[in-house]
Amino acid sequence: MTTETKVSICLPTYQRPDLIVQCLDSCLSQTYPNIEVLIGDDSKDDRTKALIETRYANEPRIRYRKHEPSLKQPRNIASLFARATGDKIVLIHDDDYLAHDCVDRLLRAWTLSPGIDVAFGDQYEVDEAGKIDIEGSARLNVAYFRTAAAQGLQRLPGRTGVIQMLPNNGWMANADLVKRISYKERYGLGCEYVFGTEVCLAARGVYYLKEYVSYYRKTGVSITTATRASLGAATMLAYDFLVHLALPPPLEPARRIALRRMVPIVVSIYSKNGAPLRALRVALTHLYAYRYGLDRRLYFHLARIAVASLKPSHGVPQRAD
């Protein structure tokens, strides 16, 4: 891969001027020179705009746009993809950041396997101050099936997205594929999972590098954290998408792997939000997610469902789905 290949780094941001500097500096300090950095700012105030106009006033690689009114996450990211002029696209969120040679490393996947459409690597897990948690990083990647045994060209590209092996950002993909799939507003906070699944299902090839290429920051203030116990939580929307998704037979085991992670969360959220019958239906439909009764979470959730069923309904339709 030569420097003729242009890479567009897409950076959505919302109310994080204190964190975006580290993210943006990580993009601009890439060892690979032929890049552009597109920023989509959904912030309610002008702090990020002022920062860009002062700190990065003489940086020609930055293409900044302030959204008034804000677009919200799916449309913001979709607009960044649409604006990208590069051959490849990298996505990085404003509270995360890239390794200094991330672009170089990910581009190397096309040298190793020229027919691919998507490449990704491991993520470091860091705290709010940016301190790396080495053990936490190892657990994070193992939890999402990023292991030494899995490195290289993926035998079933679609599986990579279904089981969430593809990270939510820090990946690289051919721009034409990314623009064609894009983020979809109708999936709300589940748009990340939907995009990852759809882009891998459509990809000719997906390559996993067993190398750290990005940093994932654990923060206590994010849209996902604030809504994780609500019916609009990302997992709820991802679950609804996945159970209705048509998959070829070889990918059915991947669906079960993904649902093992999602189902206990979905059951818990339904029971907390006045929908015990839905919670029970989901639990009984996917008993394998509880190891057919060997997982003690099943009994905890059944108890919670029983308690919730005795409380007055809060208006959530008790659909048996």
Distance of alpha carbon 277 from alpha carbon 271, whole angstroms: 8
Helix (H) or strand (E) holding 41: strand 35-41
Q: What DSSP string describes 126-180?
A: E-TT--B-HHHHHHHHHHTT--GGG-EE-SSHHHHHHTT-S-SSS-EEEHHHHHH
Q: What residues pair up with 37 in beta bridges, in sequence order?
A: 9, 62
Helix (H) or strand (E) holding 276: helix 276-285
What structural domains does the chain harbor? 7-225 (3.90.550.10), 228-309 (no CATH)
Distance of alpha carbon 287 from alpha carbon 294, whole angstroms: 10
Contact 121, 211 (CB under 8 A): yes
16 Cβ partners below 8 Å, 6+ apart? 48, 94, 95
Q: What DSSP string describes 172-226?
A: EEEHHHHHHH---GGGGGGHHHHHHHHHHHH-S-EEEEEEEEEEEE--S--HHHH
Distance of alpha carbon 287 from alpha carbon 135, whole angstroms: 31
Residue by residue, pLDDT tens for the chain (321 residues) are: 567 999 999 999 999 999 999 999 999 999 999 999 999 999 999 999 999 999 999 999 999 999 999 999 999 999 999 999 999 999 999 999 999 999 999 999 999 999 999 999 999 999 998 899 999 999 999 999 999 999 999 999 999 999 999 999 999 999 999 999 999 999 999 999 999 999 999 999 999 999 999 999 997 655 555 567 789 999 999 999 999 999 999 999 999 999 999 999 999 999 999 999 999 999 999 999 999 999 999 999 999 999 999 987 655 555 444
Note the pTM of the prediction, 2 decimals.
0.93
> Which amino acid is located at 112 in the chain?
L
